[in-house]
Structure 1
Amino acid sequence: MMKFKSPPVNSLSLEFLTEFSISLEKLENDRACRGVIITSALPKIFSSGLDITEMCGVEHSSECWRAVQELWLRLYGSNLVTVAAVNGSSPAGGCLVALSCDYRIMADNPKFSIGLNEAQLGIVAPFWFKDTFVNVVGHRIAERSLQLGSLHPAPEAHRLGLVDELVPEEKLMEKAAAVMAQWLALPDHARQLTKTMMRKAVLDRLVAHREEDIKNFITFVSKESIQKSLRMYMEMLKKKKS
C-alpha cells in the first residue's frame, strides 16, 4: 500500500512527485510485489493536485511538469495492479492519479468530489490528461466536464463512471483489498499484456511529444493572465484557511 502524506492537502510538489515515482519504481522492481493500493493518510483529501505555489512564477515549472509527466507515464503504464482508494476530494492532478489506476473505489461521501477542474483556473488540461479521462468516462462526458472544469461529488462521479465503486468510508480499505485479491487471482502475464495493448497508444503519444508538451505548458503558464489567475486562486485559498 502507498499512502500519500504531505500535509496539508497532498499537493503534487516536485519533491512529492519525485518521491512518488521513485517509490513506484521500487515496487515495480520488487518481484514479490504484484499490486499496490494508493490512498491518502490525510483525512478528507486524496490529493489536491499540482502545487500551485510552484506554478506561480515559472522558475521550477519545467522541472515540475517533467516530473508530472514521469509520474503519469510510470503509473499509467505500470505492470502492477493499481487500485485507487479515494478517501477524500481529488481535484485536477489528484484526479489524474486516480484515473491512471486500474480501478477506483471512492468513499461514499457527497462532500468528497473528484474531477479535472483546470478550466476553473483558466488552465487547459493537456492532451494526455484528456486522453486518460476519455478512456475512463467516454468522449461526451469528458468534453463537458473538461470545458466546465467540473468537480463531481462522489455519487455523481460513480454515476458517470469516473469511479468504479462507492463504499462507506469505514469499508474503503477492506473493499480495496478485496478488489486487489480479485485482480491478482488472474495470471499476471495475460493481464499485463492486455493493459499494455489498451494503453500503449496513449502513452506513446506523450513520449513522442514530451518536450513539446513541456514547452507548451511553460508558454501557457508564463502568461500574465494565467499567473494572475493562479495568484487570485492562492489568495482565495489563504482566506479559506484563515
Structure 2
Amino acid sequence: MSQASKRSSLLEIHDHDHAIRELRLARAPVNALNPALVRELLDEVRSAPADGVEALVLSGREGLFSAGLDLPELLALDENGMEDFWGDFFALLEALARSPVPIASAITGHSPAGGTVLALFTDYRVQAEGDFKLGLNEVQVGLIVPPVIHRALARLIGPYPAERHLVAGQMIGAERALAIGLVDEALPVDRVVDRALEWCRFHLQLPRHSMRGTRELVRADLCAFFDEESLMDTKAFTRFWFQPDTQATLKQVVEQLKARR
C-alpha cells in the first residue's frame, strides 16, 4: 500500500510501508533526462535519508523507464550550461552510489542510455519482460561513455562483456540483459515495482547495523570511482560534446526521432 506524498511535473514521490520511498520519473512524454529532472532527482536522493527513508525505489511508467538524455534540450545549451549539466549528472550517479540506504531500480520498460546508467549505480535492478530494450547505445548517437560509467558497467558484468556491449552500442532485450548480469530479475511489467519493493522490504528486515555496514563494504569499490577526478572530467566531456562530428551525429539522431513521430 502506498500514498502519493508529493508530485511535480518531473517526479511522483510515493511513500510505502517500512519507510520505503518510490521516486517515479514523471516527465512527459518519455522521462527524458534534462537538467531540471536530474537536479530534482539528485535533491530527492540526497534528502531521503534525512526524512527517515530507509530504502529507495527508482521507477517509471509502465512501458517506459526513461528514454535517456533529452538531446534536443541539451543541444540548445552553451558550453557553460553543458558543463553544469554533466556536473549535476555525475553528482546524481555519485549520490546513488554513496546512498546510505539501499536503492532498487524498477525498470518498467524501455531504458536506453541514461536510463540504464542510473540503474547501474543502484543496488538491484528489476527489468520488465517483453519487447523492451535497454543498454548503453552511446556509440550509435555519436558519444563516448564517460570513464566512470564504463567502470561501473565493467564492475557489474565484467570487463570483456562491458567492452563488447559498449563498442557495439546495441540495445538489448530483457532476456539478454538478465543473461549478462545487466539486470538481476526480469518480470512482467505489472510486477516490476512490487518486486523492487519486496527486495527493499527483505533487506530492511535484516539487522540494520550489519546490513548497512556490509553494504558499505561491498560497494566501496563503486564509491571509489568518484574519488578519481579523471573519471568525471566534465570539461573534457563538454569539449567532446561540442566537436563538429559529435554535434552533427547528435543533430541527425534528433531529426530521425522527429521523423518517427
Q: Does 1:206 align with 2:204?
A: no
Matched, 1:38 2:74: no
| Higher relative contact order (Cα pairs below 8 Å, separated by 6+ residues) | 1
d(CA) in 2 for partners of 1:35, 1:138 = 27
Taking a change above 3 Å as real, the CA distance of residues 170 and 202 of structure 1, as seen in their structure-2 partners, is closer
User: For the residues of structure 1 that align with 2:129 and 2:181, how far apart are their CA atoms?
Assistant: 14
1:148-177 CA-partner distances (Å, limit 9, x unpaired): 012111111111111101111222222222
Deviations along 1:80-132, whole A, 9 cap, x unmatched?
110111111111111011111111111111x1111111011121101111111
- Per the alignment, residue 122 of structure 1 pairs with 142
Matched, 1:240 2:233: no
In 2, the alpha carbon distance for the partners of 1:222 and 1:206 equals: 24
Q: Does 1:91 align with 2:112?
A: yes
Q: Any conservation in 1 of the 2:142–2:246 contact (CA below 8 Å)?
A: yes
For normalisation by structure 1, the TM-score amounts to 0.92
Q: Is the 8 A contact 2:64 2:109 kept in 1?
A: yes
**1:199 Cα deviation from its structure 2 partner:** 3.1
Q: How far does residue 45 in structure 1 lie from its aligned partner after superposition?
A: 1.3
Equivalence for 2:70: 51
Counting matched residue pairs gives 238
Q: 2:105·2:125 contact (CA, 8 Å) conserved in 1?
A: yes
- Give the C-alpha shift of residue 58 in structure 1: 4.6
Greater mean alpha carbon deviation, residues 204-213 or residues 75-84: 204-213
The match for 2:3 is: none
Instruction: Indicate the residue corresponding to 2:212 in structure 1.
Output: 192
Unaligned runs of 5+ in 1: none
Partner SS for 2:66? coil
Q: Percent identity?
A: 28
Shift of 1:193: 2.9
For 1:26 and 1:212, how far apart are their aligned partners in 2? 23
Q: Determine if the alignment matches structure 1 residue 108 to structure 2 residue 129.
A: yes
Matches of 1:174 and 1:209 in 2, distance apart? 37
Cα 1:9/1:144, change in 2 over 3 Å: same
User: How far off is 1:136 after superposition?
Assistant: 1.1
Seen in structure 2, the aligned counterparts of structure 1 residues 37 and 120 have a Cα distance that, compared at 3 Å, is same
Query: Displacement, 1:11?
Result: 1.0
Separation in 1, partners of 2:217, 2:245: 40
Structure 2 unaligned residues grouped into runs of 5+: 1-21
Q: Pick from 83, 97, 100: which aligns with 1:79?
A: 100
Does 2:190 align with 1:156?
no
Report the Cα distance in structure 1 between the residues aligned to 2:121 and 2:173, rounded to whole angstroms. Answer: 19
Structure 2 length-normalised TM:
0.86
- Cα 1:45–1:143 change in 2 (3 A) is same
1:95/1:196 Cα in 2 relative to 1: closer, same or farther (>3 Å)? same
Amino acid at match of 1:177: L
- 8 Å CA contact 2:34–2:74 kept in 1: the answer is no
Provide the alpha-carbon RMSD of the alignment: 1.7
Given the alignment, which residue of 220, 241, 244 partners 1:221?
Answer: 241
2:40 corresponds in structure 1 to 19
Following TM superposition, by how much is the alpha carbon of 1:211 offset from its aligned partner in structure 2, in angstroms?
9.3
